[in-house]
Structure 1
Amino acid sequence: MSGTKSPSRKVPATEGKWPVWKLAILLYPATALTVAINLFLAGLVANGMGLGVIEPVSAILWSIPLGLPASWLAGRWLRGLMDEADD
């Protein structure tokens, strides 16, 4: 069967672009956990300077709302990388 054409055409993998909001939803768990870790470590640094400690549970609770803008920014960054890869 050499010389025959395949009936299917090749389509680029990123033909349908992912919107930033979908990327942000997918990245939210990772970014919220990253924010929680950073808040907890900032509390440890603050403790070294004589301020109060941020408890792990408090860091997790604060990371729930603070993870939203972080995931939006991560989604925009990833969308930019995907657009750059397409060009």
Structure 2
Amino acid sequence: MSSTRSPSRKAPATEGRWPVWKLALLLYPFAAGTVAINLFLAGLIAHAVGYSALSPVASILWSVPLGIPATWAAGRWVRSLMDEADG
């Protein structure tokens, strides 16, 4: 007899696979922080062109809702990398 286990018929095919929403929850603070930094720097560029500057607090407040789609995209990207590594 071999020491390897055969897969159970009752075990789901995605056992041990992280869903995108769990990855997104894990990545949200990093993606929202990245969005805040990019918004602030875009505000500095806009100020150089002649528009009003975006304050750091406003950048953080805007990054809370705008971080959600960025997080979802990052979660899908990480999930695809994990699938490729498993493949």
User: What range is the shorter-chain TM-score in?
Assistant: 0.7 to 0.9
The question of 1:82 aligning with 2:74 is answered no
1:17 partner letter: R
Moved over 4 A (4+): none
Give the C-alpha shift of residue 15 in structure 1. 4.8
What's the counterpart of residue 29 of structure 1? 29
- RMSD of aligned residue pairs (Cα, Å): 1.9
Give unmatched runs, 5+ long, in structure 2: 6-13
- Cα distance in 1 for residues equivalent to 2:22 and 2:54: 31
Give unmatched runs, 5+ long, in structure 1: none
Q: Deviations over 1:16-73 (max 9, x none)?
A: 1000000000000000000000000000000010011000000000000000000000
Aligned to 2:17, what secondary structure does the other structure show? coil
Aligned to 2:50, what secondary structure does the other structure show? coil
- Cα distance in 2 for residues equivalent to 1:80 and 1:54: 35
Percentage of pairs with the same residue: 68
The question of 1:53 aligning with 2:15 is answered no
Aligned residue pairs, count: 79
